[in-house]
Structure 1
Amino acid sequence: MQLVVMDQASLERVRNAPKSILAKTDRVNILINDAGIMAVPDLQTHAGTSPEFQSRVVSLASSGHRLGGINPSNNWHYQKGDYNPSLAYAQSKTANIYMANEIERCFGSLGLHATNVHPGGIATGLGRHLPAEYLQNLHQNQGLIKIFKSPEQGAATSIWAATGKEWEGRGWRYLSDCSEAMPGRMIWIRGVQ
């Protein structure tokens, strides 16, 4: 197994990732779209796009997608203000789900299947850009602390989705805690565009 990192804050690095893969092999057996960011002070990548909105065919979603759908306005990158880190994060995770569903819709009959995974709350640096007061409240919430996972625990569902025999030839799934789960209703109507 080989890892290829594709930093989506740089379109040049996005273009270089497939070149790196093609230099080593002519096919990809498993693609895990991981990572997320939120509350980043600098809202623009070098290419002028929002780093939270870009998606990177196990696609990591989040229960955060339930906070809202994709902003239908002409304010995709919050250029008009009103930036809300939680809603931007929810949009990015909803976009990941839409992307996986579209992959399944377009290519499922050809044998390419896409699955969505909610890895759970993981003790990482994801929220490092959140306000200190907000982080302090999170760290004092004992109920929340009990449900946080280690990075290894958080990766378990992704690995299961990527390698589990029960998912061969199957898509249109949303997995959480190594089991099938239900995503938010508004995004799970098959075939709705």
Structure 2
Amino acid sequence: MGAFGWSSTTDEVLADKDLTGLTVFVTGANSGLGQETARAMAAKGAQVMMAGRDQAKLDAALATIRARVPDAQIDTIICDLGNLAQLRACGAEARARLAKIDLLINNAGVMACPFTRTADGFEMQLGTNHLGHFALTAELLPLIEAGSARRIVNLSSRGHFFAPVNLDDPHFEARPYDPWEGYGRSKTANILFTVGLEARLGARGIHAYAVHPGGIQTNLGRHLSEDMAAALMARVTSGDRGFAWKTIPQGAATSCWAATAPQIEGKGGVYCEDCHVAEVDDVSTNSGVRSYALDPVTADKLWTLSEELTGARYA
């Protein structure tokens, strides 16, 4: 086991791992970090279920992975995080097709999109990034309980620095929509969801980890105008240390690390970056996790709101 860090790649993190016999479920697996996570884990013997909302894109990603990993045990499933009825259908299909899920990688996300609503009326970023994964994870919980590794990895971001959650106005009904505030709220929610999962499931041997992948140029930025992209770059490069883009294999490495690292076994409810558990830091602009994102009281309040909005329950 090596000492991993900022530049580590998925294959380096998993080099000494044998994932044979494990079942991995990855959302947003049709491109970017999700596709790379699926490939890397399939290459180490895992059975991988690639989830996404577009079958054609899933098929293309599947073909790309099979070209690199010919013996991959890999399949696809439709999963639309912006539609609760479809998520329930996805959950039912997954329970019919899979005996267990050892590692759930809640990877999919949307960033700084124009104001839109999900099929159920939620603000799109909170609805997709948090509420969709909240509902999906509840659907998949029986399969996770049947697994052996029992880890849930939630993709967050340093974007949680942009804003805490707003439990009084989650869908921007009382104030003007700001795309970066919406993104920040949703990424903070991903961490608070991790805290909530750990509090409720940790004693049952199911552990949750939030992950910041780093700055990666993927299609996550597809909604950014030139001005928004320039403003984002100015923000991330003005901090207390230099900024550099990661490659996609480097960006997906922390997800793979959080899903498999032995040193964090049984120690969930944390936020990871650059293949380590981050320190709480309310000052730095370039590292760490804000204390408001780990607050258990806020996590409980968000959990209650998420149950109310989605109807999802964790038995």
CA distance in 2, matches of 1:117, 1:185: 15
Unaligned runs of 5+ in 2: 1-46, 52-78, 134-151, 280-288, 301-315
CA spacing shift, 1:87–1:177, aligned 2, 3 Å: same
1:3 to 49, 56, 71: 49
The residue that corresponds to 2:224 in the other structure is 130
The DSSP-based 3-state class of the residue aligned with 2:271 is strand
CA spacing shift, 1:136–1:66, aligned 2, 3 Å: closer
Flag the structure with larger Rg: 2
CA shift digits 1:20-72 (9 cap, x unpaired):
22122232100011122122225111221122113221111111112221113
CA distance in 2, matches of 1:95, 1:140: 25
CA shift digits 1:136-180 (9 cap, x unpaired):
566799959951112221110001111222222221221101112
Contact 2:237 2:243 in 1 (8 A): yes
CA shift digits 1:121-150 (9 cap, x unpaired):
111122221222232566799959951112
1:150 to 247, 266, 279: 247
TM-score by length of 1: 0.87
Q: How many residues align?
A: 192
* Structure 1 position 159 matched with structure 2 position 256: yes
Q: Which has the higher strand share?
A: 2
The residue that corresponds to 2:191 in the other structure is 97
Q: Which has the higher helix share?
A: 2
* Structure 1 position 49 matched with structure 2 position 132: no
CA distance in 1, matches of 2:232, 2:164: 25
* Structure 1 position 177 matched with structure 2 position 274: yes
The residue that corresponds to 1:186 in the other structure is 292
CA spacing shift, 1:44–1:191, aligned 2, 3 Å: closer
CA distance in 2, matches of 1:188, 1:23: 35
Question: RMSD in angstroms over aligned alpha carbons?
Answer: 2.5
Identity %: 34
The DSSP-based 3-state class of the residue aligned with 1:117 is strand
Q: Which amino acid aligns with 2:108?
A: A
Unaligned runs of 5+ in 1: none
The residue that corresponds to 2:203 in the other structure is 109
* Structure 1 position 40 matched with structure 2 position 113: yes
The 5-angstrom pairing of residues 13-24 of structure 1 reads 13-24=86-97
TM-score by length of 2: 0.55
CA distance in 2, matches of 1:53, 1:140: 25
Shift in Å, 1:82: 0.8
Contact 2:115 2:179 in 1 (8 A): no
The residue that corresponds to 2:311 in the other structure is none
Shift in Å, 1:110: 1.2
